[in-house]
Amino acid sequence: MTTPHTPWWRGAAIYQIYPRSFQDSNGDGVGDLPGITARLDHVARLGVDAIWISPFFTSPMRDFGYDVSDYCDVDAQFGTLADFDALVAKAHGLGLKVLIDQVYAHTSDMHDWFAQSRADRANIKADWYVWADPKPDGRPPNNWQSVFGGPAWTWDARRCQYYMHTFLKEQPQLNVHNVAVQDALLDVARFWLERGVDGFRLDALNHAMHDPELRNNPPAPDDGKARTRPFDFQLKIHSQSQPGMVGVVERIRALCDDYGAIFTVAEVGGSDAVAEMKAFTAGDKRLCSAYGFNFLYAPELTPDLVAEAMAEWADAEGWPSWAFENHDAPRAVSRWCAADAMGRFARMKMLLLAALRGNIILYQGEELGLEQDEIPFDLLQDPEAIANWPLTLSRDGVRTPMPWTNARQGGFTTGTPWLPLGDENRARAVDGQEEDADSLLHWTRHVLALRNAHPALRHGALERVEAQGALLRFYRVSQGERILCAFNLSDAPLVLADLSAGTVLAVANGGTADALPGYGAVWAAVEP
């Protein structure tokens, strides 16, 4: 529920779709745009406001779509531009906004821009990517490391120079300092805005600008965490996170404003993510929101973790977006609880996510309680997982097909799926949960309906966040409404004699006004 003065996206629930794994319509084992369109009724019934579709653009798929070779077309395995238009029309008919990824930090090395840029040092696009001469002994120009392992520089014999790549060598870094590059990227955004999209998720935005002086990154202090990549040994103060990105952000916002209430959310990671997220979203001339990595890679969910994340965003400091899972992070139930507690934990987790101040993002299958699938090495597709085996997060395990039925291949495809679907997740299929009134699917719909019905939960203020042992407690407040939200983040019961009484709105796993069982939770309307 929004007021006439509240933009639709403020407090929105957004459903992320990974197109390769949502629904295959033609039997080739890869999900596609017509498949998404066919399943949008399921998404709409959840009660979300928008869908976010991960990349479907033309790509050689070295990083499964995040290596774009044509920003303004659909890769053939996903369909056509006409299929995309049909998807947007169906979504809008169901009351769903459509958000898509924009990848502005890099392209594929198969992009026409890069083909021209690498041809020589004098052509019109020679400075569209980050090129640098070698050191006198032939080594790369500095010590920057790539996320996926090894130096962030690859030699190119055509120009007798190195080009930069923060990720794969097949993902050369765009030189976003160049105004012509900015103009070209804004043209890309305009192309999709003209086709009716309602917003953008801006991928790896703080990676999109580098230090022009190419200074070495300093070593990172040892914080006791495991370091599995050379990338982890540096403070990335020169290879990313440059202050000039704020000006680019303002250009993006100005364009989006020309098209009305367009939602923009930045993906920002790194050691100083909060400061960058606030810089990208400050005032009314920058982005609407940003989401970071507070929960996506956390090994456990604790009251202190939630309290610290909430404290980073005071009411006057912008509007955050939160996700517990996405296409890059392992399933939360596999990280945060024992296998025999997954069902109960998932119910509590959904109630917690929906109570957070900000936008919330559900990753496909989260409404079913899917766990992380185990993918054997010989079936891995993810380049990061293969490169860092066995010390890997295995992004493939969260990208396995959506189980629509408990039949063979989960109703995802009539062919062989690009990744295998585990039996445990197939048993959590949509059709079985539809028939079970007590399923997580029905619970998710109930929770989102309550969130939409109460302004305090959707876009109200956050007050009195308390983290005491396993207990997390806070209030959401708006328009004379005050809602207590209390959660037991452990599997042991808690007795809470001082829990404020009120009208109970929702209970997970049998919570009451004075006690919370293991993974119990309660929302209660109390006196303002």
Catalytic residues: 203, 267
CA distance 98 to 392: 32
* Nearest to 19, CA basis, from 50, 48, 52: 52
Separation of alpha carbons 167 and 106, rounded Å: 9
How is residue 129 annotated by DSSP?
Answer: B
Q: Among 274, 348, 254, which residue's Cα sits nearest to residue 318?
A: 274
Which residues make Cβ contacts (< 8 Å) with residue 189, sequence separation at least 6?
Answer: 102, 200, 252, 255, 256
What is the Cα–Cα distance from 210 to 130, expressed in whole angstroms?
A: 8
Burial class (CB in 10 A: 0-12, 13-18, 19+), 455: buried
Which SS3 state, helix, strand or coil, does residue 27 take?
coil
3-state secondary structure of 521: strand
In this structure, the number of other CB atoms found within 10 A of the CB of residue 331 comes to 23
Phi, psi of 355 (to 5 degrees): -95, -10
d(CA 153, CA 143): 9
Secondary structure class of 323 (helix, strand, coil): strand
Residues 6+ apart with CB under 8 A from 32: 19, 23, 24, 25, 26, 77, 78, 79, 83
CA 488, CA 495: separation in Å to the nearest integer? 10
Cis preceding-peptide flag for 390 (omega within 30 of 0): yes
Nearest one of 346, 295, 337, 326 to 395, comparing CA atoms: 326
Q: Alpha-carbon torsion 59, 63, 64, 65, what sign?
A: negative
